Structure 1
Amino acid sequence: MSEIKDRPYHHGDLRRALIDTALDMLATNQNWTFTLREVARRTGVSHAAPYKHFHDRETLLRELARIGFVQLGESLTEAVSLGQPSTRAQFVAAAQACIGFACQNPGLYRLMFSSDADKTIDPQLHDAAMSTFGILLDLLERGQRDGSFRPIAVSALAAASWAQVHGLAMLAINYQLLEEKVGSTPVPTALDVLLDGMCRSD
């Protein structure tokens, strides 16, 4: 495990302190193989202390994923509210924000879409993920209303959009967008191809 500075815990919000420590560990090591005991040690509390707030390691991981979706949602919301001249431009800004978030938080992004972030057993995680996905749906629906996007099932547009953007994000954080394979500007080029298929031609 890479060296991470311990967070001596003195008083205050223990739950928040444990989460912050775990987020630091996730950001440093880009994986979530740590144990609750290790999180407790680095926070400066007894190994039993985390169990006051998290039933097990998986509960903590799902909370980290929930936080990730909230942060991603905030990034998307900011991206689409910057006064772009068209819905298409807003879509590009949101897509780039998603990919940027993944590149800045690769470990967290991978966790958010891993089997350890099981949304079927955590309503709060499910709600956070769906709220973030709702930003995409709202953008697509607005694009259909103003004539920017094709008048087909919004679920089809959403599936194509999410597959493309999430795929680009995963390729980016795995360093697989190699120029010899996909050119020097793979993200804008791929988004143009996607949008040419989504936008009305009339």
Structure 2
Amino acid sequence: MRKQGYHHGNLRQALIDAALELIREKGPTGFTLSEAAKTAGVTPAAVYRHFDGREDLIAEAARQGFEMFADLMQYAYDKGQPSAMAAFEATGRAYLAFARKHPGHYIAMFESGVSLNRTPELAAAANRAKAVLEQAATDLGKHIPPDRRPPASMVSAHIWAMSHGVVELFARNTGAASPFSPEDLLETGVGIYLRGLGLIAPD
């Protein structure tokens, strides 16, 4: 393990970075605060100046992850405009890209068991990411009369679940094999789902 220490008051972030490294290696429940301290190059007692326990440390890693995730989703959505479908597809690809590039954050966010309501800051960051996908779903349904339009929150929740499933099964080296790329799997799955709801025209 690295032991590079810290300086100029950045102990808090050094501990978060250490936790992310350990989460990638051992999972969110596979390490102790003492291990996080050792990885950061500080004494175990130093951890408690900033975090009450391991869950608090993981929650902060998750919050930072959601902030990054929301920024990426917003960027993808904006880049896909003015086409509602292009924006929607871009957010799906951004989900896959984030899971690959930031596995420690991703695990802290979605697989640690830490409640998204543990802190107001964590809840706000998670809701900001969710709002981007809901906006994309809202844009897709604008051409449908309100009384026949599926709830944007439902559509975004289904797409989020589908994206998460593709990540877990095919994008994170879990052993599952597919003759198609995760991006193709997600794109075709989303297309089938959206056509079934009447949100996009038949292919």
User: Structure 1: which 5+ residue stretches go unaligned?
Assistant: none
- Counterparts of 1:167 and 1:98 in 2: how far apart (Å)? 11
Residue 52 of structure 1 is matched in structure 2 by: 49
> Which of residues 24, 38, 43 is equivalent to 2:21?
24
Please say if 1:152 is aligned against 2:168.
Answer: no
**Matches of residues 19-98 of structure 1 in structure 2 within 5 Å?**
19-27=16-24, 29=25, 31-32=27-28, 33-98=30-95
Match of residue 193 from structure 1 = 192
SS at match of 1:82: helix
Partner-residue secondary structure (3-state), 2:141 = helix
CA displacement 1:10-40 (0-9 Å, x = unmatched):
332221221122223334x162222111111
CA distance in 2: counterparts of 1:107 and 1:31, whole angstroms: 9
Asked if the contact 1:30–1:108 (Cα under 8 Å) also holds between the matched residues in 2, the reply is no
1:74 CA drift (Å):
1.2
- CA 1:196–1:175 in structure 2 vs 1: closer, same or farther (change >3 Å)? farther
Moved over 4 A (4+): none
CA RMSD of aligned residues (A): 2.5
* Residue aligning to 1:176: 176
What amino acid is aligned across from residue 125 of structure 2 in structure 1? A
The farther-off stretch of 72-81 and 14-23 is: 14-23
Q: TM-score, normalising length from structure 1? A: 0.84
1:99-119 CA distances to partner (integer Å, 9 max, x unpaired)?
121122334323312353212
Alignment size in residue pairs: 195
The match for 1:104 is 101
Q: Does 1:125 align with 2:131?
A: no
- Show the counterpart of 1:162: 160
Structure 1: distance between partners of 2:153 and 2:7: 49
Identity of aligned residues (%): 35
